[in-house]
Amino acid sequence: MKLSDLGENRVVAALTRALALGADVRVGAGDDCAVIGRPRDARWQLLKTDAVIEGVHFLPDADPRRIGWKALCRALSDIAAMGGTPQHALITLAAPPSTDFARVRGIYAGLRKAARRFGVSIVGGETARSPGPLFLNVALTGTVERTRCILRSGGRAGDALYVTGHLGGSLAGRHLDFIPCLAEARWLTANFKIHAMMDLSDGLAADLPRLATASRCGFTLDESLLPKTKGCTPAQALADGEDYELLFALAPRAAAALEVAWKQHFPSLALTRIGSLITQSKTKNRQSKTPDGHDHFRQR
Amino acid sequence: MKLSDLGENRVVAALTRALALGADVRVGAGDDCAVIGRPRDARWQLLKTDAVIEGVHFLPDADPRRIGWKALCRALSDIAAMGGTPQHALITLAAPPSTDFARVRGIYAGLRKAARRFGVSIVGGETARSPGPLFLNVALTGTVERTRCILRSGGRAGDALYVTGHLGGSLAGRHLDFIPCLAEARWLTANFKIHAMMDLSDGLAADLPRLATASRCGFTLDESLLPKTKGCTPAQALADGEDYELLFALAPRAAAALEVAWKQHFPSLALTRIGSLITQSKTKNRQSKTPDGHDHFRQR
């Protein structure tokens, strides 16, 4: 059985099922970040690892600074999705010995630029030889107040579902330049009771079912409301991936106040109510119409 | 200028020179682990990232369980080198979609085996598609009492230099099965004032100068004393790499007591005094005779 036969969700589920976790692990594999701390600690630690790979996440001729920016910002987007603040990063760079040093220096310049902007210290890393494509892995720590730590699993039937920004078409360029929604997520958790949140990396069609399943809910999605990037079809907005926007759920009674306050604080970033969480039994009828989103082991 | 022209030490030095660090970073890039915490905290956090790559750190036909074991144990060896205790790991696995799932499951079985043995929780990770070789990155956290955190930089002129175990020939098999020296390092810091410590991953010839330089010392090395793996030449013991033994420095007046106590506690693991740290001005004469050790960007 090949990885491509199983698909990413089943591979990850099979690999992470048998993991034994210490008593200080609040959340292991399966959310945007791992969460470490004792149940009553005032703050918890967030841990994340994420890689970008030449030929998969960027093309060989991409601007090295934008590669570095993207690599760190992808992990930052996951810290944002937990409601956290990033702290320390470790970089693994594997490159062929024939790589021009200027390219590697450019990647590090992009990493440093993102680190500076979002208050991250790059505290180490490692370099290795790659016999194939360039690999760039970021391991990132963060911190979050226990009461503001938002999981994927906290959604409730009836919750309103929102996405930030516009979806689709990221591969035309935005995937190398996006701004992780750290400020937006911090503002959300400071001002509203967010039940569940995640960042959109594999496309709403892949990611929304993950949030709903983690919350033991189904969902409704009104495709006519999707905030599509200009020029994108609904199918692209659902399945392209690499949006790095936030998807979150909160009680519908908070929706009106949220929409008013959001417009004041983030006038240039769209916020769109796209559907609802519903009780799980209703799910299976609704979900089947959406396309699949990105699966790392199933090439399209 | 290619990476192979510069060599690993200069590439790393150039990339890490300009990194801005937060006030809570005790040690950034350049030691076995990064060290995080306030100056007077009772405990500090250790952070490490490390990758193994198909065709570089293991062959395509290597037993998957041993690949997983090696990947985690390499990072554990760095936690040991700081005197620390490991805590949480995150795994990044990039593999071609055509990879047999049994292989990936075997790698995870090896990771889990090492995690169980050394008290690590695997709290997450990520899977991605690789268009080239299999790539396995481990990000690992640990903890260490501030007073028992041992850097590379604490060595003093006159210190005795010791290595554990035997050196050389690891690629014949041991590099996939080695036991990281966590227990030995914890015992050393509990019972002796260790001035400087690191693990030997690139060969004594590459690693000893790093410890000496970090300690602003030179060194003497008596090659006739080298604890060579059976069948290895002195050059192999110096330069093969992947030994994952400890190299450490302590005051010569503690040497006799150390050697007696070590034999009682670790009767099956050699401990060998191989030389001394000396004042830096004397270095340049002595160092030139040793071979080079492993450089990741210069293929031999």
φ/ψ of A114, rounded to 5, equals -65, -40
Same domain as B166, residue B279:
yes
CATH number of the domain residue A182 falls in: 3.90.650.10
pLDDT at res. A287: 47
Task: Identify the domain boundary among A113, A147, A181.
Answer: A147
Residue B300 is assigned to a structural domain of this protein: no
Q: State percent of chain B over pLDDT 90.
A: 86
Instruction: From chain B, pick out residues whose CB is under 8 angstroms from the CB of A37.
Output: none
Residue A293 is assigned to a structural domain of this protein: no
pLDDT at A259 over 90: yes
Q: What is the pTM of this model?
A: 0.94
User: Quick one: residue A238, left, alpha or beta (phi over 0 = left, psi -120 to 50 = alpha)?
Assistant: alpha
**DSSP state, A229?**
P
Q: What does R_g of chain A's alpha carbons equal in angstroms?
A: 19
pLDDT at A64 over 70: yes
CA of B240: how far to CAs of B9, B170, B275, in Å? 17, 7, 19
Task: Look at strands B85-95 and B121-129 and give their pairing.
Answer: parallel
Q: State percent of chain B over pLDDT 70.
A: 96
Same domain as A208, residue A105:
no
Same domain as B96, residue B219:
no
Q: Report how far residue A113's alpha carbon sits from residue A116's, in angstroms, rounded to the nearest whole number.
A: 5
CB contact under 8 A, B101 and A11: yes
Distance from CA of A161 to the nearest CA of B (A): 26
Structural domains in chain A (count): 2
pLDDT-derived band of residue A73, with 50, 70 and 90 as boundaries? very high
pLDDT at B286 over 50: no
Residue B295 is assigned to a structural domain of this protein: no
| Of B246, B220, B213, the residue nearest B159 (C-alpha) | B220
Task: Supply the mean pLDDT for chain B.
Answer: 93
Same domain as B168, residue B119:
no
| Of B143, B118, B117, the residue nearest B33 (C-alpha) | B143
What ipTM describes this predicted complex? Answer: 0.93
Q: Report how far residue B218's alpha carbon sits from residue B279's, in angstroms, rounded to the nearest whole number.
A: 6
Q: Report how far residue B77's alpha carbon sits from residue B84's, in angstroms, rounded to the nearest whole number.
A: 10
Same domain as A189, residue A248:
yes
Instruction: From chain A, pick out residues whose CB is under 8 angstroms from the CB of B105.
Output: 14-15
Nearest CA in chain A to B90: A49
pLDDT at res. A18: 76
User: Residue A2 is nearest to which of B36, B50, B101, comparing CB atoms?
Assistant: B101
CB contact under 8 A, A53 and B131: yes
pLDDT tens for B87-144 read: 999 999 999 999 999 999 999 999 999 999 999 999 998 899 999 999 999 999 999 9
Residue A154 is assigned to a structural domain of this protein: yes
CB contact under 8 A, A20 and B112: yes
Instruction: From chain A, pick out residues whose CB is under 8 angstroms from the CB of B133.
Output: 130-132
pLDDT at res. A162: 98
Same domain as B258, residue B139:
no
CB contact under 8 A, B90 and A133: no
Q: What is the residue range of A44's domain? A: 22-147
Q: How many CB pairs under 8 A join A and B?
A: 271
Same domain as A205, residue A88:
no
Same domain as B132, residue B86:
yes
| Of B94, B89, B95, the residue nearest B121 (C-alpha) | B89
Residue B141 is assigned to a structural domain of this protein: yes
CB contact under 8 A, B88 and A4: no
Task: Identify the domain boundary among A89, A120, A147.
Answer: A147
Residue A136 is assigned to a structural domain of this protein: yes
Task: Identify the domain boundary among B82, B112, B147.
Answer: B147
